[in-house]
Amino acid sequence: MELQETELAERLRVAGLRPTRQRLSLAAILFGAGDRHVSAESLHQEALAARIHVSLATVYNTLNQFKAAGLLREVAFEGDRTFFDTNTSNHFHYYLEDSGQLVDIGSEDLEVKGLPELPAGTEIDRIDIIVRLRKSRS
């Protein structure tokens, strides 16, 4: 289901963001085809392929603005690998090492038990779990 520009503009406004041409163009790519995981680099390549002329820096800035507004969830690991997830619900991920893809694991499929006592004055915001997969050697 492709979102119309007016729907995207309203989504941005509700999130507290001004619906600029570049934000709308990137939002159409991000939210136009259901839940997905993108890196800044992959979104930049998609934008260029769609003849949307934006710099990589603009893509990074827009993704971070969307994240801060609650429109995206950041999934970062290994210090330098960062994905942005359009599914902001509480869920977990498989990381397919051979292809570099991130795949959702439903929260109903995983149970977290035995967490240590939390430091005073803190509460759990969310738990990020990434299960790394590779092709079996057999």
Structure tokens that stand for 125 in this block? 């915001």
Q: In sequence order, what are the beta bridge partners of 73?
A: 85
pLDDT per residue as tens, the chain (138 positions):
456 888 999 999 999 999 999 999 999 999 988 889 999 999 999 999 999 999 999 999 999 999 999 999 999 877 778 999 999 988 889 898 888 888 988 777 778 888 899 999 999 888 888 888 888 887
This prediction's pTM: 0.83
* 93: phi then psi, degrees, rounded to nearest 5: -140, 150
Please report the beta strands in the chain, taking only residues with DSSP state E, as ranges in sequence order: 37-38, 73-77, 81-85, 92-96, 101-105, 130-133
